[in-house]
Amino acid sequence: MKIYKFRTGDSKKFAYAYGYRPFDRMGFEQEFPEYLRERRKLASVLDPGLPGLHVGEAGSRWPDLMSCGNPPPSFVFSRKIVMSLESRDIALRRITPIPIGSIENSKLRNIPAPEYFVIEALPGIQVDYAASGYVVDVDGNPNLNAVRSDSTCILQYDPLTWSGADLFCQSNGYGAPRYLDLLCTERIVEIAKEDGWEDAAFQRVRVKGVNPVTGQPE
């Protein structure tokens, strides 16, 4: 079994967002811890501006998968990607349109931007924190007050807990779902190639009991 997380490819060629300011209908912020919601509110007061994404100076093309600094979310997705997923009945928890608030790159201001969205996935797999090297409590959740048993912990996902979905998120991120941290199967990687998602790349993550090079059982 192979599981991937999203990443971007050619950061020099394509636009990126270094953050965003609050905008209407930000339902995904319900999942943020209280301290993060308050920090974002304070930042918007200290540095007021147009709501939405703030696109930096680099790049000369709009990507389909755009990285977003000051996460979460770490990425935003073009309508093209959303349509690719929906046309193949890939289940999503929620999609939220995210506007573009400002563009620092003068070239990009003259190129129509695609519509971008924040995608949340349904919980679909658990991390085995003990196998990942963490000190865990009786429920298998990492004990964040304890010293890690291994200072080089690498998350290992338990394939026996996989829901069978092609796009999903971790269901036990420190005890709670991580809807914005998307994971996927090889089917999504193939869809991205088939439909030409610009600047979309993927990185293998560790699966418990699976060789990270061959993808075969260890």
pTM: 0.85
Does the pLDDT of residue 25 top 70, yes or no?
A: no
Q: Tell me the pLDDT tens digit for each residue of 113-125.
A: 999 999 999 999 9
Q: Does some domain include residue 166?
A: yes
Q: Does some domain include residue 77?
A: yes
Token pair, residue 208, equals 């418990």
| Of 189, 192, 176, 93, residue with least CA distance to 139 | 176
Under 8 Å between Cβ of 8 and 14 = yes
Does the pLDDT of residue 48 top 90, yes or no?
A: no
Q: Does some domain include residue 216?
A: no
Higher pLDDT, 214 or 82: 82
> pLDDT above 70 covers what percent of the chain?
78
Overall domain count for the chain: 1
Q: Does some domain include residue 212?
A: no
Token pair, residue 96, equals 């939220």
Confidence of residue 83 (pLDDT cuts 50, 70, 90): very high
Q: Does some domain include residue 218?
A: no
Domain that holds residue 114: 4-207
Q: Tell me the pLDDT tens digit for each residue of 127-178.
A: 998 888 888 888 777 876 765 655 567 889 999 999 999 999 999 887 566 8
172 contacts: CB under 8 Å, gap ≥ 6: 126, 127, 140, 141
Q: Does some domain include residue 213?
A: no
Average pLDDT of span 191-208: 96
Looking at residue 78, what is its pLDDT? Answer: 98
Looking at residue 178, what is its pLDDT? Answer: 85
Report the mean per-residue pLDDT for the chain. 85
Looking at residue 35, what is its pLDDT? Answer: 62
Looking at residue 117, what is its pLDDT? Answer: 95
